[in-house]
Amino acid sequence: MNLLTIHAGHFKLDGGAMFGVVPQSIWKKSNPPDENNMCSWATRCLLVEDGNRLILIDTGMGDKQSEKFFSYYYLHGEHSLEKSLHQAGVDFADITDVLLTHLHFDHCGGSIRYNRDRTATLPVFPNATYWSNEAHWKWATEPNDREKASFLKENILPIEESGQLAFIRQGNELGENIHIELVSGHTESMMIPHIRYKGKTVVFCADLLPSVGHLPIPYIMAYDTRPLLTLQEKKQFLEKAVENEYVLFFEHDPVNECVTLHRTARGVREKDILNLNDL
């Protein structure tokens, strides 16, 4: 097995939205905002080479939305999903599985593209099985008023229409080295992959823990639909992570790729900051 970081680009979101009730005077120490109170965030995907499978976890936001849409998110940097995969020697057709932790646009938008004249949509990965789960799929395709701006039908429905959609159940493994756990504070039934790698467990944190700056328990995004449930899920996860010496892989941290954890007087905090190549 091999793990490769796939950088799909950077974008900006409001710092207050990303840190919820935590005052700016505190969170800005870890994530400095610009003059508009916007902070930079990564869309860091993960490629898992496991035997004859090439599994891509999340796909970033893609490039098919309108210029007006992207103007809200200040895309920046040189990275893209296609460039990063090609740098890794991987073509879209090589991907066998796409595991979508959840269907918010910044996690699944890169899964679908328009054809040349923008009259139809096509899967970016023509030979891949796209994995979601039944509870989250229903939640995303029948969205509530709060989240419907993040569940874009052009990112989601073409997956099912292509015949490439499959559902995974909690407790199932995507291959013998990837175990899926579900959490529902951020959105219903978000999938958190736990990957057995070089004698360690690497956890793709998705939006349970977007960055190192979100390790403190009260640092919960305003985007979360059930913040008190997130609080409980974070507590349980961090205790388990320390106990089992997990390596956390951050999807959105603009700088830090991975950390290990330890207990401190202030609670569970980062111990070592590292990259996958350090393992």
Q: Identify the pLDDT of residue 119.
A: 87
Q: What are phi and psi of 249, to 5 degrees?
A: -105, 120
Q: What is the DSSP letter of 213?
A: G
Q: Identify the pLDDT of residue 266.
A: 95
Domains of the chain plus CATH, in order, are 2-206 (3.60.15.10)
**Among 7-16, 96-105, 167-176, 202-211, whose mean pLDDT is lowest?**
167-176
Helix, strand or coil, per DSSP, at residue 184: coil
**Is 246 a residue whose pLDDT tops 80?**
yes
92 CA to centre of own chain: 19
> 3-state SS of the chain: helix, strand, coil percent to 5?
25, 30, 45
Tens digits of per-residue pLDDT, 176-222?
899 999 999 999 999 999 999 999 999 999 999 999 999 999 999 99
**Is 171 a residue whose pLDDT tops 70?**
no
Angle subtended by helix axes 134-141 and 153-161, to nearest 10: 130
- Compute the distance between CA of residue 7 and CA of residue 143 in angstroms, rounded to an integer: 28
Work out the average pLDDT over 19-42. Answer: 95
CB 94 within 8 A of CB 135: no
Q: For a pLDDT cut of 70, what percent of the chain falls above it?
A: 99
Q: Identify the pLDDT of residue 172.
A: 65
**Is 47 a residue whose pLDDT tops 90?**
yes
Q: Identify the pLDDT of residue 174.
A: 86
**Is 107 a residue whose pLDDT tops 80?**
yes
CB 10 within 8 A of CB 31: no
Work out the average pLDDT over 246-260. Answer: 98
Tens digits of per-residue pLDDT, 120-141?
999 999 999 999 999 999 999 9
Residue 170's pLDDT band (cuts 50, 70, 90): low
Amino acid present at 273: I
Work out the average pLDDT over 41-65. Answer: 97
